[in-house]
Chains A and B, each alone.
Chain A
Amino acid sequence: IEQASPDLILPKILYEVGNELTSSLAWGTGNTLAQLVASNNFTGTDRYLLGSYGGTWNLLYRNARDAQNVIALGERLNNPNYQAAGLLLRAFCMQFLTEMYGDVPFSEALAGKTEGNFQPAYTPQREIYVQLLADYERAADLFDPTVGLNGDILHDGDIPRWIEFANALRLRTMMRLEDKWDEVGLSAADLQSFVSEANHMDELEDSALLPYLPVGANRWPQHTGRVGGFDEKRMSVTVEGVLKELNDPRLGILFRPVDNPDSDEYVGVPNGLSEDAASNYNGGALNQSRLGTRFREEPDAVDMVFIHYPEVQFLLAEAAEKGYIAGDAEAFYLEGIRSTMAYYGTEATDEYLSQEGVAYTDDRDENLRLIARQKWLSLFMVGLEAWFDYRRTGMPELTPGPDATLDHIPLRIQYPDEEQVLNTANYEAAVTRQGADMIGTPTWLLGE
């Protein structure tokens, strides 16, 4: 480890985690579970035959380990920015794991080499969140704009943006814990003081995202993959309804009209159909809208988004609307919509913003629904965040498809099969504590 330099490891974590989040999880699972897209072939995910995502589990723990190496190397080099970036990325990976699975190895994790612990116990989810919040706070404090950060493919050494990245994750996490504040020792006042004292993203360019590149191995994988795999993903009926209702300019950006030359309609496919029903739906693939050209024809239109500026705006809007923080909820909300539109190179016209279904109302519940719906649209291709957020808010309204194997949206992912074999006792203890290892079992966060 003495010879390794953190400026080679840091970019690897960013690229590997970002790519997993995007090309694998958002594309294959997140958009589908949130019913932003539906499949017309290989409909297992739509039907909640989810599997256990052992590959993702391994990738996240592997990168958490490398992030830990970055922290250690940062300490050795006396560079606070490597320590902070390592801390942030380790927490990001660990948070993703607990969001997916619930209780996961955490306090005892990553100690194979240092302590010879190859069977780490699972930490209760509550304790994990407490530590993650502390890690994000510590990372934000540690970052030092007067010191450099090499190998920073995310922000090119722009330390203030890293601080904003840490704070955005902290904001996301605090809101995620909304229903559990009393159990983790948080309150609205804590949120208020954090929001008012810390630096936050204040423009789209502050977003923590890594672009795919126009050439070589760093291109958006669907650009070079088999077109059959790309074509399996279609617009969902759920998103079709919303985009059409709002006459949303994103309809023509995220999706294309059906291929049938006799029609220029946009037609979605219901989630959760059987193989046969999905491929024959509406007369077959010819009459089902594919995803937009940016997701296939362009090598670099897709970004690997860790957390973006619009999400921060929607989080603030929600917090303000709920009265947790002071501030103009509507302004945050509108900025969220505008910046999302800007991200897609289009614009939220006054007409769009003032129409019913977008325009702010006097009804708090309705406003929260509006915020959640626009946030949901903004989370297209953002990891599993739309699904994670849905589990908390229950919005927008999503209904499992006819051939789904569960009568509600899944609450978690089953633990990787390997854990049953390699970490048996701790796995069983976690299952005993948390409930059956099934996708319908609520984790602590989602429990009563």
Chain B
Amino acid sequence: QQTVTGRITDPNNEPLIGASVLIPGTNAGTVTNFDGDFELTVPSLNDTLLVTYVGYETLREPINGRTEVMFLLREGALDLNAVTVTALGIEREAKALGYAVQEIDGEQLDRVKDPNLINNLAGKLAGVRVTGGGSGIGSSSRIVIRGESSLSGDNQPLFVVNGVPINNDNGNNGGGNGNMAADYGNSAADINPDDIETITVLKGANATALYGSRAANGVVLITTKSGAGKRGIGASFSSNTTFERPLRIPEYQNSYGQGAGGQFAFGDGFGAGTNDNIDESWGPAFAGNPLIVQHNSPTSSGLRAGDFAVRPRTEDGQFADEATALPWTAAPGNIEDFFETGYTTINTVALYGGDEQRNFRLSYSNTANEGILPNTDLSRNNLTLDVGQNFLDQKLRVRANANYINSSSDNRPNNSYGTENVMYLWVWFGRQIQMNSLRDYWQPGQENIQQFNYNYNWHDNPYFTMYENTNAFDENRLFGNVNATYDFTDELQLMVRYGLDTYDELRTGRRAWSTQRFPRGQYREDNIFFQERNADFLLTYAPQIGETFTATISAGGNQMTQERRFRRTSANELAVPGVYSFNNAAIPLVNNQFNSRRRINSLYATANLGFRNFLYLDLSARNDWSSTLPAANNSYFYPSASLSAVLSEVIDFPAAVSFAKLRAGYGQVGADTDPYRLLGYFQFSSNTYGGQLLGTEDNLLANANLKPERLNTLEFGADLRFLRGRLGLDLTWYNNVSRDQILQVPVSQSSGYGARYFNAGEIESKGVELLLNGEPVSRGNFDWRVNLNFTRARSTVNELAPGIESYQLSSNYLTVLARPGERMGDVYGTGFVLIDTETNERVTVDDVADIKDTYAHLYDANGFPVRDPNLRRLGNYNPDFQLGLNNDFRIGNVDFGFLWDWSQGGVIMSRTLLIGGTSGMMAETAEYDRETTDFIGGTTRVTGVSELDRNGVVATGDGTYVPNTTALSARDFYWSHFNRDNETVGMYDATFLKLREARIGYNLPREWVSGIGAQRIRLSLIGRNLLLFTENPHFDPEVFSYGGGGIVPGVEDMATPSSRSFGFNLNVVF
């Protein structure tokens, strides 16, 4: 063995740090240090060195007996031999892959950082759709790769860190037993973006087959940074601080205040005043600012009018003091004022280093966030250690990686429609209410006992909600793995690995006395335990059989064991107000419990065959044995094959074509199901009747004959590069067919059961993905790079099951139905009865697209529109296409960039519009003077709501129709037109264009930096979600809602606004 040393620099003679140097086909490899130097032990001085560096030209250089070799890499040049991480952590040359893989390096991820790494992927990947959560920072984000192929699952990919799967549960299970759901974040968000070296996204089944069942929706492979290839000790520090404001909040009217019939006066907030029981805004006009007693009116007793519990009363129960009338004025900014400027800081320090035999990286990161809603926060501490050690003359290499994460929050906001969510309050919040008047939210002397509010018969004071009724959590998580690789010979290698992901989470919920849902308060704890253990091995044989043929054959196995435990205890009344302890329970505790275990054993094999650096064939096969399937069907086998042909190796293309590759792949994945689906059981209600236990048969009929699901993928692609790599085009077409899905199918309850499990369905997903990389300008001091990704994905339902015409995927008023022959993501809802004015016939439409201009809405004799309860298709929530466009510029030491994200098409229903329309809150309800306008349905139009821009007719009784002429009051008019049951009215086009990221950075000149002992210092200003262009004025269409415990896409339902953030970033490398 010999040692080669050298240095790698760019054309400006700047050292390239972390460039990789290796001998292809062997395990010999290293990375350059901070001076660009490397030292590599090579088997022979006749070998060839392969030098790669992300974004730079790749060089192959025979050593030719030298012991010192200098390299000069050109930036942005063709990188034909880049290595990428594939399934099971196997590193492969990208050109040998017969499937689409997209890789993002850590720097691209954290330049404009979001604490949730999934959000950092938005707009950057072809074929990937990211949707942010509805509860601000710390909420769950959803990622879907290549469209939705599953009718029953969450369609989200498997997350793998350093070769071992980790949990990415969506933490939206805080609801039930009287509480509304809160979003505690998706588990993969625990990973610190600063620790990520690269993210590789595997999309099709042929890429993911080796991960088996759980990878049917794709895989997000995360490789964390390590100290490998480092010489000596290095350190880095990064600090990221951003400030957040709501991106978009609804447009409210500012002409009329709370009340009904133009009348309002506060009495006690229960109805003792004039219409003070009404929480809608049909009250007096603000014009002229009349004097009216309000909840915050001072009284002669020195209290506020709304302090009903403590104001002096006469013998007959009336207030004995006098309240002073206040000017009745609009409070245009009241809701915006409630939001605070949130901030997020992420600080990371890392220490790393090593030598030939060992290396390490230790990092600590702290994330602190205060949300845009008062008293919401998120805190996270990540401690990561990665160590590697070589033994036995480098034949045995051991690596261990551990991530400890503590994440916590003192309060996560509730979401969806109901009093525990302040966003719910805003659609009912009187337009005259000055937000400041509610800050002092206890009645005097009634601290912990009675809140102060503007209305008591429906609502909670929003500050009371945020400060007293909290949803805290504290999670401790450990994940990581230990692996050892041993080279028996140059050709035979064994890897064994053990991975663990485990967490314990405690969620505590507090509800104060006088809360609408819990008049005597509540204290609740959820204990959540999760553990997954993976043990695997991989034996690899790579015979050296010359240059013409190459072959690598591997065989391995995995055992996955997963345990979940959930335990909830609630004290739904507290004896002493303000004391949150089970010992203070005034009534018996309510308990819920759920434990489960599952195991999958797997064996697999793979062969990678190459011919003349031109043709590559990959084959894989896997068999799983799952504990969740019946014994007779619990073993399932699935293969994959892919072919890659590097045409440019064999065809003489014109000089402009630098590289051309075609690829084709076929893959199959089998999948099991969740535990407890095979045998029926009886269960206990969480409540008793006076201590008598109550039992019932499970309403879901189990199925002892389930068989595994199957997903087949066919994929073709091309990778073309021109002009020595300055222009690159990667094109993929795929077709996925998913069969035998294990569905929880709703059945008529008259069968005795509400749903049953069975295998059914065929979903077909087709799509096109396009990646375009260009370097329009690259001249010394000025670079311009463009990166564009385009996605078009469509999933259709080919069949469900015999006798099943339609399958409900989710519902939150809007119903998401799968129907044979139709698209996945089609949404259905109801609207008004339609009359074809040309034929005088009542028409039933199955699709809003069928509604003609000649159709009119039917009104009844009283002037109210008549609702048609038949479902009609209102559109599809999936976009027609998505396009991400990133531009990076560099001028000397300054660089700047913009990421635009365009999502075209799709629909979304706004519950805010529908409900805020009935309450008189939305701007749309004050288009006309409420007192002088004749509100005639079909004649008076509601602009901005296309469904309400339609003629109205009434039946004459003889089969003909005449225009509606009956006028309604403003309230009756808007109440009957905006209506939460008329989903049609709430529909908006979900198309949006967002300036997702913008940044400007400055690399301090090298001489300044070295003056303080650092190697590199970079400062940048960053912004996320700076601009939003979309049809609707009320909300960001890029949200989802919750219903029935799950995510309901296509619906806006009182989500916390997404945020726009600005901030700065400092990176220092020592």
A324 at the B interface (CB under 8 A) = no
Are B271 and A259 within 8 A (Cβ)?
yes
**B33 CB to nearest chain A CB (Å):** 66
Q: Which residues of A contact B971 (CB under 8 A)?
A: 275-276
Are A111 and B516 within 8 A (Cβ)?
no
Q: Which residues of B contact A422 (CB under 8 A)?
A: 746-748
Are A279 and B261 within 8 A (Cβ)?
yes
Are A113 and B701 within 8 A (Cβ)?
yes
Please name the residue on chain B nearest to A122 by beta carbon: B750
Q: Which residues of A contact B279 (CB under 8 A)?
A: 228
Partner of B272, one of A105, A259, A277: A259
Tell whether A231 pairs with B756 under 8 Å between CB atoms, given A12-B696, A66-B697, A226-B516.
Answer: no
Measured in the bound complex, the distance between the Cα atoms of B696 and A233 in whole Å is: 33
- Contacting B at CB under 8 A, from A353-397, are none
Are A49 and B867 within 8 A (Cβ)?
yes
Measured in the bound complex, the distance between the Cα atoms of B701 and A103 in whole Å is: 25
Q: Which residues of A contact B689 (CB under 8 A)?
A: 11, 14-15, 153, 210, 213, 218
Are B756 and A112 within 8 A (Cβ)?
yes
Partner of B277, one of A15, A117, A285: A285
Q: Which residues of A contact B588 (CB under 8 A)?
A: 216
Are A9 and B871 within 8 A (Cβ)?
no
Tell whether A224 pairs with B274 under 8 Å between CB atoms, given A62-B699, A421-B808.
Answer: no
A423 at the B interface (CB under 8 A) = yes
Measured in the bound complex, the distance between the Cα atoms of B278 and A108 in whole Å is: 48
Measured in the bound complex, the distance between the Cα atoms of B1030 and A36 in whole Å is: 50
B712 at the A interface (CB under 8 A) = no
A167 at the B interface (CB under 8 A) = no
Are A109 and B751 within 8 A (Cβ)?
yes
Chain A 238-271, CB-CB to B under 8 Å as 1, else 0, gives: 0000000000000000000001010000000000
Are B696 and A66 within 8 A (Cβ)?
yes
> Which of the candidate stretches B213-221, B541-549, B680-688 sits at the interface with the other chain?
B680-688
Q: Which residues of A contact B586 (CB under 8 A)?
A: 215
Are B693 and A8 within 8 A (Cβ)?
yes
Partner of B682, one of A1, A276, A418: A1
Q: Which residues of A contact B687 (CB under 8 A)?
A: 216-218
A158 at the B interface (CB under 8 A) = no
Tell whether A402 pairs with B862 under 8 Å between CB atoms, given A8-B694, A285-B271.
Answer: yes
Are A58 and B749 within 8 A (Cβ)?
yes
**B269 CB to nearest chain A CB (Å):** 10
Are B749 and A261 within 8 A (Cβ)?
no
Tell whether A286 pairs with B272 under 8 Å between CB atoms, given A9-B696, A61-B749, A279-B261.
Answer: yes
Q: Which residues of B contact A412 (CB under 8 A)?
A: none
- Contacting A at CB under 8 A, from B965-986, are 968-969, 971-972, 975
Q: Which residues of A contact B754 (CB under 8 A)?
A: 58, 62
Instruction: With a 10 A CB-CB cut-off, give which of B318, B590, B682 has the most chain A CB atoms.
Output: B682
- Contacting B at CB under 8 A, from A84-128, are 104-105, 109-113, 117-120
Partner of B806, one of A12, A216, A421: A421
Measured in the bound complex, the distance between the Cα atoms of B968 and A62 in whole Å is: 43
Chain A count of residues within 8 A CB distance of the other chain = 69
Measured in the bound complex, the distance between the Cα atoms of B271 and A277 in whole Å is: 17
Measured in the bound complex, the distance between the Cα atoms of B275 and A231 in whole Å is: 12
Chain A 205-225, CB-CB to B under 8 Å as 1, else 0, gives: 000001001011110000010
Q: Which residues of B contact A216 (CB under 8 A)?
A: 572-573, 587-588, 687
Partner of A119, one of B751, B864, B972: B751
Q: Which residues of A contact B278 (CB under 8 A)?
A: 41, 279, 285
B633 at the A interface (CB under 8 A) = no
Are A276 and B694 within 8 A (Cβ)?
no
Are B752 and A284 within 8 A (Cβ)?
no
B690 at the A interface (CB under 8 A) = yes
B676 at the A interface (CB under 8 A) = no
Partner of B747, one of A104, A118, A279: A118
Please name the residue on chain B nearest to A14 by beta carbon: B689
Secondary structure type dominating chain B contacts: loop
Please name the residue on chain A nearest to B828 by beta carbon: A421
Measured in the bound complex, the distance between the Cα atoms of B260 and A109 in whole Å is: 48
- Contacting A at CB under 8 A, from B581-595, are 586-588, 590
Are A414 and B869 within 8 A (Cβ)?
yes
Q: Which residues of B contact A275 (CB under 8 A)?
A: 971-972, 975
Secondary structure type dominating chain A contacts: helix
Are B261 and A109 within 8 A (Cβ)?
no
A419 at the B interface (CB under 8 A) = yes
Partner of B862, one of A12, A65, A224, A403: A403
Are B272 and A112 within 8 A (Cβ)?
no
Q: Which residues of B contact A226 (CB under 8 A)?
A: 419, 457-458, 516
Partner of A4, one of B573, B697, B869: B697
Instruction: With a 10 A CB-CB cut-off, give which of B456, B685, B690 has the most chain A CB atoms.
Output: B690
B674 at the A interface (CB under 8 A) = no
Are A421 and B805 within 8 A (Cβ)?
yes
Q: Which residues of A contact B972 (CB under 8 A)?
A: 274-277
Measured in the bound complex, the distance between the Cα atoms of B683 and A8 in whole Å is: 10
B519 at the A interface (CB under 8 A) = yes
Q: Which residues of B contact A109 (CB under 8 A)?
A: 750-752
Q: Which residues of A contact B458 (CB under 8 A)?
A: 226, 228
Are B457 and A112 within 8 A (Cβ)?
no
B753 at the A interface (CB under 8 A) = yes
Measured in the bound complex, the distance between the Cα atoms of B689 and A210 in whole Å is: 10
B860 at the A interface (CB under 8 A) = yes
A399 at the B interface (CB under 8 A) = no
Instruction: With a 10 A CB-CB cut-off, give which of A4, A41, A112 has the most chain B CB atoms.
Output: A112
Measured in the bound complex, the distance between the Cα atoms of B688 and A423 in whole Å is: 34
Chain A 402-431, CB-CB to B under 8 Å as 1, else 0, gives: 110100000000100111011110000000
- Contacting B at CB under 8 A, from A52-89, are 52, 57-58, 61-62, 64-66, 68-69
- Contacting A at CB under 8 A, from B654-677, are none
**A75 CB to nearest chain B CB (Å):** 16
**A351 CB to nearest chain B CB (Å):** 30
Measured in the bound complex, the distance between the Cα atoms of B416 and A438 in whole Å is: 32
Measured in the bound complex, the distance between the Cα atoms of B753 and A68 in whole Å is: 12
B263 at the A interface (CB under 8 A) = yes
Partner of A227, one of B275, B456, B685, B694: B456
Are B519 and A4 within 8 A (Cβ)?
no
Are B260 and A279 within 8 A (Cβ)?
yes
Partner of A65, one of B685, B752, B860: B752
Are B695 and A8 within 8 A (Cβ)?
yes
A151 at the B interface (CB under 8 A) = yes
**B495 CB to nearest chain A CB (Å):** 47
- Contacting B at CB under 8 A, from A1-54, are 1, 3-5, 8-9, 11-12, 14-16, 41, 49, 52
A280 at the B interface (CB under 8 A) = yes
Are B519 and A224 within 8 A (Cβ)?
yes
Q: Which residues of A contact B958 (CB under 8 A)?
A: none
Q: Which residues of B contact A104 (CB under 8 A)?
A: 750
Instruction: With a 10 A CB-CB cut-off, give which of B261, B278, B750, B808 has the most chain A CB atoms.
Output: B750
Q: Which residues of B contact A261 (CB under 8 A)?
A: 316-318
Please name the residue on chain A nearest to B282 by beta carbon: A276
Are A227 and B270 within 8 A (Cβ)?
yes
Measured in the bound complex, the distance between the Cα atoms of B869 and A141 in whole Å is: 45
B803 at the A interface (CB under 8 A) = yes
Are A65 and B697 within 8 A (Cβ)?
yes
27 A/B residue pairs, CB under 8 Å, sorted by A: A1-B682, A4-B695, A8-B684, A9-B696, A11-B689, A62-B699, A65-B753, A104-B750, A109-B751, A112-B747, A118-B753, A120-B750, A153-B689, A153-B690, A216-B587, A259-B271, A274-B862, A274-B968, A275-B971, A276-B282, A277-B972, A279-B261, A279-B278, A280-B275, A286-B272, A286-B273, A421-B817
Add 16 more A-B contacts to A68-B752, A227-B456, A227-B457 (CB < 8 A).
A9-B696, A49-B867, A65-B752, A66-B696, A105-B751, A118-B751, A216-B588, A228-B277, A228-B279, A228-B457, A228-B458, A261-B316, A274-B972, A280-B260, A403-B862, A422-B747
Q: Which 4 A-B pairs rank lowest in CB-CB distance, beginning with the nearest?
A: A8-B695, A112-B751, A228-B457, A105-B750
